[in-house]
Structure 1
């Protein structure tokens, strides 16, 4: 009898945590596990702000799937449709070929993508903050704005270059902005022409508070700390236009900005639209408390793309929030339930009371609320680092990140823009297009 085929769609934090646990729990002859993702690595997103700010080497916050999942099959491909009626996936490989992949047990954990709104100019001038590529881009972009501003005498251009706008006051937006502002404030010590007060950092939030993940007092504390650093926090405000880099806000404020970062929410992965799985009004896969997709026996889901009942709430219709804390714990229960399913054992419900949140607000600054205990400043910042270091997969990546942090103690973090990373062939193309031009004196011919 062939071994059952377990297929996991998504190699993000949930998918990797699930696959690692299945590697440990299942015997080699008990099932085959295949992980399908468009990327060959998992990005630990809570460390993206520190990677953008230069506190952590970007390579250290990504885990190669093939390195971590020695007993699993890893397929770098894009799932284009799910046909659960026939237990089959349609996938597009890297070379453009289309194949069909069968399964006995399916796990749907593709995560989410940025939820952008149809605001004029956003697509042309905005950038998200969900991938390591976006984090590296923003780091290089912010530092390059300082470079250009330090060398221009055009005051209007200088103001535009030194204006940074973040839309979205949740954890992603707050941490990204706080870390990048801290990095820029540290970097301008190397740019004598620029004074710290010349930089303008603007946070735009449609709600009447920031960081809804924590209590209102902690959210207010965070807002005050940001404003003490000169960051403008605009509550009950929305963005109306970013056309040609000209920012128009609903409170009547208008100004030019060369940096627009969009962190105003996420939505389930669009891959789910071409599937026969039940979904709710927000596009999430409907699940039972056992993390099984409703109406199915061998299909499971978890994380941002799943609507999972919150059994800790008195509201019978309450769902678990789309947080990393729930996602990782769901992955562990999910692995246990899949092993139980294969062995004919009863499945268990997912039930976890939200423990709280920790946030880094730049070097030595943070805010945390864990089981009702509030921490501020350095203790919160330290807890943020310790917590996420413990959650980082693989011992080697933990060690590398710890090494990055220890190097910060005797040395300043490196603040240099490597813009060539975004267009590495530009210089070569320029050189190739200058054939026939006189060679500069002293040039050395190749070959």
Structure 2
């Protein structure tokens, strides 16, 4: 009777988990019908989530069906609603609302994360986001429709709630995107609201002068030390009682791991991520591995842990998929380690900033960093070609595009 490795999710971690599992299966001469690899996700496509703050978000997806076919991975369309780790099965719902079950011998949970939406008045009704592809498309349509409204300060103003990584990248794009929609000569405003006393609080002081220089150059204003307390059709209310009139409010207030992590026995962090061991196995569920935004793993001997970013999701996926298959084959696992850490933050038409290390020391800024950011966003994060050798080469644990 054949065995199954089931991978939940087809994002960066899920895609590479599937390729890595297929690579190891092939390397050991095991037929696909002896150990089947199944990917379960809503669609056989990867959303290029790191690019959703850019223009044309409807194009920010890449198909995976041909790639999966090439390496012998079966794709099942559906939404996983339940995980029974004790019984080794998942319950999924298809597009018609029908439910079914799939059993597994090993599972990789790589179902990603979702934007955290606190219970602020009007937030769910009036705020936009760049979290999922459909969210970014809705924002893009809204921005283009602004030209049909009569002139007002509110029409020409975008508020970005949250001054973290996503908030900064989104805000840096907004003046140009508003002018595309309203006209190049329009007086537009982009305002970042951040409850911390400094922009990019999680990025630290290293890149902050560059970020501030870029935002000043682009005309992006900052309101620091205040929080959004309510959103309505005409703007926002702040914690100091003041208002900002804006027809466009974009929420970027952090993400939480897939709720499926709550159904698996194990310890979780504040973002809901499962704490995994060095092989990316969930200690409380030996047949389950976790990767991407569903996992919190130690990256190095200094104790740093993975962040919810594609920089960590892709290597996590490679190692989790490899180790799930290795566990079934009875061969040694590959411990996860990713000691090198960099940050490449897009700063819109101004350029970008590249930092290195967990202290985020600036290495490049401006046009040179922008060229690297384009390479990351337009090449490195895309799936490999549907060619067996190419796919297996990039699926090897430890692979990095700069080493290719």
TM-score band w.r.t. shorter chain: 0.7 to 0.9
Paired position in structure 2 for 1:170: 164
In structure 2, do the counterparts of structure 1 residues 126 and 37 end up closer, same or farther at CA, with 3 Å as the change threshold?
A: same
Paired position in structure 1 for 2:77: 76
Paired position in structure 2 for 1:426: none
CA distance in 2, matches of 1:393, 1:363: 26
Paired position in structure 1 for 2:373: 384
The alpha carbon displacement at 1:393 in A equals 1.1
Q: Does structure 2 retain, via aligned residues, the 8 Å contact 1:88–1:101?
A: yes
Is the partner of 2:265 in helix, strand or coil?
A: coil
Paired position in structure 1 for 2:400: none
Paired position in structure 2 for 1:43: 47
Of 178, 181, 184, 1:184 maps to 178
Deviations 1:418-437 (A, max 9, x none): xxxxxxxxxxxxxxxxxxxx
Instruction: Map residues 292-331 of structure 1 onto 2, 5 A cutoff.
Output: 292-313=281-302, 315=303, 319-331=305-317
1:225 to 2:214 alignment: yes
Instruction: Map residues 13-412 of structure 1 onto 2, 5 A cutoff.
Output: 13-27=12-26, 28-29=31-32, 30-50=34-54, 53-54=55-56, 58-59=58-59, 61-70=60-69, 71-145=72-146, 147-149=147-149, 152=150, 158-186=152-180, 188-189=182-183, 195-197=185-187, 199-212=188-201, 214-273=203-262, 275-282=263-270, 283-313=272-302, 315=303, 319-363=305-349, 365-371=351-357, 372-388=361-377, 389-395=379-385
Paired position in structure 2 for 1:11: 10
The alpha carbon displacement at 1:310 in A equals 3.7
Deviations 1:238-262 (A, max 9, x none): 0011134341112443132211111
CA distance in 2, matches of 1:73, 1:104: 15
The alpha carbon displacement at 1:354 in A equals 4.1
Q: Does structure 1 retain, via aligned residues, the 8 Å contact 2:20–2:319?
A: no
Q: Does structure 2 retain, via aligned residues, the 8 Å contact 1:364–1:382?
A: no
Q: Which has the higher contact order (CA 8 A, sep 6+)?
A: 2
CA distance in 1, matches of 2:113, 2:299: 20
CA distance in 1, matches of 2:362, 2:237: 39
Mark the runs of 5 or more structure 2 residues left unpaired by the alignment: 387-404
Given the two structures, how large is their TM-score scaled by the length of structure 2?
Answer: 0.86
Q: Which has the larger radius of gyration?
A: 1
The alpha carbon displacement at 1:36 in A equals 0.7
- Tell me how many residue pairs correspond in the alignment: 374
CA distance in 1, matches of 2:174, 2:51: 13
Structure 1 stretches of 4+ with a deviation exceeding 6 A read: none
In structure 2, do the counterparts of structure 1 residues 68 and 364 end up closer, same or farther at CA, with 3 Å as the change threshold?
A: farther
Q: Does structure 2 retain, via aligned residues, the 8 Å contact 1:37–1:77?
A: yes
Given the two structures, how large is their TM-score scaled by the length of structure 1?
Answer: 0.78
CA distance in 1, matches of 2:160, 2:217: 17
CA distance in 1, matches of 2:174, 2:385: 27
The alpha carbon displacement at 1:346 in A equals 2.1
CA distance in 2, matches of 1:136, 1:261: 13
The alpha carbon displacement at 1:186 in A equals 4.7
Q: Does structure 2 retain, via aligned residues, the 8 Å contact 1:162–1:200?
A: yes
Bigger fraction of residues in strand: 2
Paired position in structure 1 for 2:389: none
